[in-house]
A and B are shown apart, each in its own frame.
Chain A
Amino acid sequence: MRLRQGQFSFLPDLTDDDIRVQAQYAIDNGWAVSVEFTDDPHPRNTYWEMWGHPMFDNPDAAAVVYEVNECRKAHGGKYIRVMAFDASHGWESIRMSFIVNRPKEEPGFRLVRQESAGRLVRYTVESYATRDPEGARYA
């Protein structure tokens, strides 16, 4: 399967120049861009690991691409995403999020059904990868 999270997961994988252009859009809007990675791609895994803090006061998207590539060197077998944080009042949350790196194999998710009273089913979505301990998943 292909993990469909983020703004551009239905498009072909982004090139470094694509990443730069999108990151520059965020910077030009006054948003702080950050890089995060994970080996637990569950849709409700909110907190991916931070590859450093959001890059406040950084005017140049080339620095984002540099950090993405540094992160790839250390975590190239995992998911990496770029996010943009907007600190303005009334938002104070994320404005952009897109995946820039994926594991070679994406085994996807298992749907676990726990049959309950009547016809009620309690559903759990479980990543096949997270059966292995953290750090031992994917490549």
Chain B
Amino acid sequence: MLDNNMKVTDAKKRYSAGVLKYAQMGYWEPDYQPKDTDIIALFRITPQDGVDEVEAAAAVAGESSTATWTVVWTDRLTACEKYRAKAYRVDPVPNSPGEFFAYIAYDLDLFEPGSIANLTASIIGNVFGFKPLKALRLEDMRLPVAYVKTFQGPATGIVVERERLNCYGRPLLGATVKPKLGLSGRNYGRVVYEALKGGLDFTKDDENINSQPFMHWRDRFLYCMEAVNRACAATGEVKGTYLNVTAGTMEEMYERAEFAKALGSTIVMIDLVIGYTAIQSMAKWARKNDMILHLHRAGHSTYTRQRTHGVSFRVIAKWMRLAGVDHLHAGTVVGKLEGDPATTKGYYDIFREEYNPMALENGIFFDQDWASLNKMMPVASGGIHAGQMHQLLTYLGEDVVLQFGGGTIGHPHGIEAGATANRVALEAMVFARNAGRDIWNEGEDILRDAARTCTPLKQALDVWKDVTFNYASTDAPDFAPTPEVSA
């Protein structure tokens, strides 16, 4: 009788035709010491009732590497010990009966260099519909330096982006043009002009602004660049607008990006839904053409939000830093969209640090060395306004784009006033922080003082003073209590 959770070492028994448990096939190796060059994936597994967690972990390891449901003799033509992914550790998830963290190590030779498509086809390609599991979530990955170095990384990076924009020492400010749909190119450019002249650094197309009957993409690009340059002359600052080049084919995206370049745009934008390979192609294009590349994470919540199934956003963030985008949305903590403070800090660290030490309280399970890959600029967008400036600066820090869409365009005295309110609030808060003030506790006083010499800020504070989005998060770390976001 073979032990269910024990690797079968006798070659004859191991390779005789029939079905073995995945653990018996060698996908469970509790004594395995991961090599520095291994890719490690951490899955949250929820086995079906009666399915042993070790066998479930081994099954995930097997199906995401070399295994199929039955023994195959052709394994013996390969260095199969090396190619087998190895589940080596299974821990119960704290306070979550029935859920387990499974650590799985993959040999570097299982992956094509520089291809997110290949990495994801292996790690998430085949296992998420697996019947013995109720649910499966990819929580985190450790990417070895040897693998990181096969990727370009962010086309521009935070430091060079700031140098190009001539903007240092404060968060960048942006706004998404609203309404999302229906504006003509001419009217759309009006919003861009007012917002940039009022004090924003960037405006932004929304994810679904591509080329619709009400506004063809060339029209949008032409009017937006008129607005950008007018605002640049009015303020003496470098300005930009994220021209969304998302289209149905790569050829069309390149055509739109080339036109944006011809018009002198500093930045173009793509949506996550174009796919990993298209993203990598655009990142290469952006590096070659001195363009900042903004990525809107359209669609991510379909697989990142639920705690037990899908792929954590921290993993998407790691893939996108490898893939080479410069900007990526990462949550606001205080705004209208999902994100608790501790988890969001974990995302921001993945974007901006050279080295991430393990930090379970932020959902980071592994030390991660980024090997001098450029840093990605996080973008905070969705239901934020000037009255939250002290919270935003405290939670998100300095290297971030704060995007106030409604919080600019919805200002009672117009778009330019809305932009000015945000810029004054931001500069006042950065000034106060640098001067050693306790902005978390004195934030409202600092804003009120700044509003004395800035009527638009006073109006903004009056309109939005009571707006908060205080809901329980669906995705908090497993290793610390969820702090409340206070208004």
Contacts and interface: CB of A to CB of B under 8 A. Distances in A.
A binds B: yes
Interface footprint category on B: 35 or more
Q: Which of B222, B233, B450 has the most CB of A within 10 A?
A: B233
The 7 closest A-B pairs by CB, nearest first: A25-B434, A96-B169, A123-B229, A111-B233, A109-B233, A4-B235, A3-B236
Contact of B264 (A90, A91, A95, A123): A123
Contacts of B225: 121, 123
B166 A44 contact: yes
B375 interface: yes
A4 B237 contact: yes
B316 interface: no
A50 interface: no
Interface string A106-130: 0011110000000111110101000
Interface in B149-169: 159, 162-163, 166, 168-169
30 contacts: A1-B235, A3-B235, A3-B236, A4-B235, A7-B168, A10-B199, A11-B427, A11-B428, A22-B434, A41-B236, A43-B166, A43-B232, A43-B238, A84-B169, A90-B375, A94-B162, A94-B163, A94-B169, A96-B168, A97-B166, A97-B169, A98-B169, A108-B233, A109-B232, A109-B234, A121-B226, A121-B263, A123-B264, A125-B232, A125-B233
Interface string B207-234: 0000000000000001001100110111
Interface residues of A, number: 42
A93 B233 contact: no
Contacts of A123: 225-226, 229, 264
A110 B233 contact: yes
Interface string B15-59: 000000000000000000000000000000000000000000000
Contacts of B430: 7-8
Interface string A31-45: 000000000011110
A109 B229 CA distance: 11
Interface in B421-444: 423-424, 427-428, 430-431, 434-436
B169 A7 contact: yes
Contacts of A93: 159, 162-163
Given A11-B428, A95-B169, A1 B236 contact: yes
Nearest to B159: A93
A117 B430 CA distance: 45
A89 interface: yes
A8 B427 contact: yes
Contacts of B372: 90
A106 to B, nearest CB: 8
A78 to B, nearest CB: 14
Given A92-B159, A123-B264, A7 B233 contact: no
B423 A10 contact: yes
A105 B434 CA distance: 30
